[in-house]
Amino acid sequence: MKRNKLRNRLVSVVLTLVMLISCLMQTSVTMAKTENSRLYLGEGYQVVFAITSRWTEGYVAEITIKNTGESKIDNWCLAFSLENSITNIWDAKLENNSGDHRYIVKNNQYNQDIKVGESVTFGIQVNEPFQQFPTDYTMIGNPQVIEAHDYSLEYIINEEWGSGFSASLVIHNQSDYDFEDWTLRGYYENDIDTIWNGQIREHKENHYVISGAEYAQNLAAGDSISIGFHCKAGNSALNFEQMELEFIKTDIEDRESGRSMIGYTIEDIQKDACILYSAGDCDTAVTRNLTFYVNDLFAKYVTWESSRKDIIHDDGTVHRTKDATEVVITKKVNFEGEQREEKIPVRVAGKNFL
């Protein structure tokens, strides 16, 4: 009887150990999977950073961007921070590396747009140990109207028959930059029946929105493209009116300094700009001049304003009086049409303060 009880206890212990080991193995597998990928949710898109191969001194990763929004993502361009140096990239182009591990990755034209619900993937190789997953991503790209002097339009009648005709609308890029994912908007009183080298994205009454065909989405500097079309009926003498050409701009450049602002946001600038105090000073006991610090790249977007210029000048110079004085420093950031303000209270010590 005692032997049976002992045997039963041993069996129970063994089974318990097996179950624990099984659970630990499942947990470790789950952890390994979790550690090899990270999901980021953005507005209208999501990014998955997945390590597909890893060794002691490096790794390979795939970055997948999925369009979770309600409209197509044109001319995608992704900015992110990665605490590693990228040595190789495929299915995308490395547009910018500012040296502080802030990367700008852009499409390779053949994967330029991301339709709703679809994804694109590009890969990177790093020849150093993995540090951490990116924690922030920014999709760069906004429609921008092209200045009238940067292009010209030519309306050509190719053939006429009965009440119908064929014609072409030629766009000439007269600028020194490419029109990427160009779109033409305007009014035309004829009904276009067939179109080539382009596609009609919208047609309401006599208003048209036309973009390039998938193989003709970009118009290089100095080049031209001819959009041909048929009209079964209409008046060929009627030209397009109130035309406006735009493209998806994916670079934000600081032209004065020649340094790129791609990928930076107003939050980045706001966090960078700060007040530096002299040794021994703090915000509640200021005795010497303040330094209004901001990275040179951001300097043109930041201004400082003092509520008491007789005590603290806008350049940070401090003038102490007999008594302690409360002063509010306002940090103002103006970037890409967006404005932010932050009020920072400081206390300037009286002259009797040691």
User: Which tokens go with 102?
Assistant: 């802030």
User: Which tokens go with 154?
Assistant: 């030519």
> 145-249 maps to which CATH number?
2.60.40.290
Distance CA 92, CA 322 (A): 63
Distance CA 19, CA 9 (A): 15
Distance CA 294, CA 303 (A): 10
Is 103 within 8 Å of 84 (Cβ atoms)?
Answer: no
Residue 29: predicted pLDDT: 39
Angle at 238 between CA 233 and CA 244, to 5 degrees: 115
Residue 253: predicted pLDDT: 42
Q: Which residues contact 68 (CB under 8 A, 6 or more apart)?
A: 44, 45, 46, 117
Please tell me whether residue 61 adopts helix, strand or coil conformation.
strand
Q: Name which of 83, 45, 82 is nearest 64 in CA terms.
A: 45
Distance CA 125, CA 90 (A): 9
Per the DSSP assignment, residues forming a β-bridge with 22 are none
Beta pairing class for 45-55 and 58-67 = antiparallel
Cα distances (Å, whole numbers) of residue 234 to 76, 200, 204, 231, 238: 39, 18, 17, 7, 9
Q: Name which of 112, 89, 309 is nearest 214 in CA terms.
A: 112
Question: pLDDT 10s per residue in the chain (354 long)?
Answer: 555 555 556 556 555 555 555 555 544 433 334 478 889 888 889 999 999 999 999 999 999 999 999 988 989 999 888 888 899 999 999 887 656 678 889 999 899 999 999 999 999 999 999 988 987 888 887 788 898 899 999 999 999 998 899 999 999 999 988 999 999 999 999 999 999 999 998 999 899 999 998 888 899 999 999 999 999 988 988 899 999 999 888 764 433 334 456 567 888 888 888 888 887 788 999 998 998 888 777 888 999 999 999 999 999 999 999 899 999 999 999 988 889 999 999 999 998 765
Residue 268: predicted pLDDT: 85
The CATH number corresponding to 37-140 among 3.40.50.2300, 2.60.40.290, 3.30.920.30, 1.10.3720.10 equals 2.60.40.290
DSSP codes of every residue in 140-174: --EEEEPPGGGEEEEEEEEEEETTEEEEEEEEEE-
